[in-house]
Amino acid sequence: LLQPPKGAVLAVATDTLVEGVHFMKGLPPSPLGWKALAVNLSDLAAMGAEPAFALLNLTLPDGRASVVDEFMRGFEALAQSHRVALVGGDTTQGPLAVTVTVIGYVPKGEALRREGARIGDDLWVTGTLGDAAGALALWRGGTPMLRTGGLRERMDRPIPRVGAGRVLRGIAHCCIDVSDGLLADLGHLLDAAGLGADLDAGALPASSALVGAFPAREQRLPLQLTGGDDYELLFTAHPRQRAEIERALAAVATPVTRIGSIVPGSVVRLLDDGGNELPVPPRAGWEHFRGTSA
């Protein structure tokens, strides 16, 4: 029984992860526990909501009950860092799957939404793009997962941008988290507004781990544009807010990069440093791990 703060509205998010579909068979339980919560906190972050409570439904095959403790270690580590209380759920027998539901609060009228991009808005993204996709690409190319280093860490233990979502209230015109890939999630913002975007290919932020593993930009670009599993916030804001955005996100220790702008039309153009159009890969969403195992 949970007491909502005065003047708050509820924000809720829920997500199911199925073994072999959303995560690889053989993923250790601790990162799974972390990630199952992280993807939902990322959804709340994109609404500018403060997470408060979580519910956990864990379905485990017979004889796998031993994984619960380790699963909970990963789950609790992230829950505690955001003061999220686990208030309900169940454990059932069946094929390995986990559903997490989170409930958070946002002051009435201040929630961030997908709708609201305007012509001339800057397009921004937090953090870096393509790390999780890079880990997966290395692994599909034969690199053992253990040797994908920081890239794999990004895939297994994404950091939900909760603080960033909070400080963007009242600044961002619209916001979404990048879970299906930059182009796919940008598409959601643009569809909601009936607008297009110009993306600055040279501005797309990459981690040093990604640059190290994929030194050529033409290797990195598809990972950053369509990879998914980034859990960064993608948002638009008026150009006069640039200094305010950099200040606000620095205050919550979140890197942020301006990667383009909102334009009339319904098309995404990808531009190189000279302003020439580059081919845009299909904005297909994240492929997941369907039918594979580590």
* Residue numbers at the binding site for a second copy (CB under 8 A): 1-4, 8-22, 47, 53, 55, 57, 59, 87-90, 92-95, 97, 99, 101, 103, 106, 108, 111, 290
In the bound complex, what is the minimum distance in angstroms from residue 68's beta carbon to a second copy?
A: 14
Identify which of residues 1 and 253 has a Cβ nearer to a second copy in the complex: 1
Measured between alpha carbons, how far is 226 from 198 in angstroms, rounded to an integer? 16
Identify which of residues 115 and 277 has a Cβ nearer to a second copy in the complex: 115
Identify which of residues 180 and 198 has a Cβ nearer to a second copy in the complex: 180
In the bound complex, what is the minimum distance in angstroms from residue 294's beta carbon to a second copy?
A: 17
Strand 196-200 relative to strand 268-271, pairing: parallel
Identify which of residues 53 and 214 has a Cβ nearer to a second copy in the complex: 53
In the bound complex, what is the minimum distance in angstroms from residue 87's beta carbon to a second copy?
A: 6
Identify which of residues 175 and 201 has a Cβ nearer to a second copy in the complex: 175
CB 184 within 8 A of CB 284: yes
In the bound complex, what is the minimum distance in angstroms from residue 181's beta carbon to a second copy?
A: 17
SS3 75: helix
Return the biggest CA–CA distance within the chain: 59
In the bound complex, what is the minimum distance in angstroms from residue 8's beta carbon to a second copy?
A: 8
Measured between alpha carbons, how far is 231 from 11 in angstroms, rounded to an integer? 18
Torsion of CA 213, 18, 113, 228, to 10 degrees: 20
Measured between alpha carbons, how far is 141 from 36 in angstroms, rounded to an integer? 26
In the bound complex, what is the minimum distance in angstroms from residue 104's beta carbon to a second copy?
A: 10
208 secondary structure, DSSP code: H
Identify which of residues 47 and 206 has a Cβ nearer to a second copy in the complex: 47
SS3 279: coil
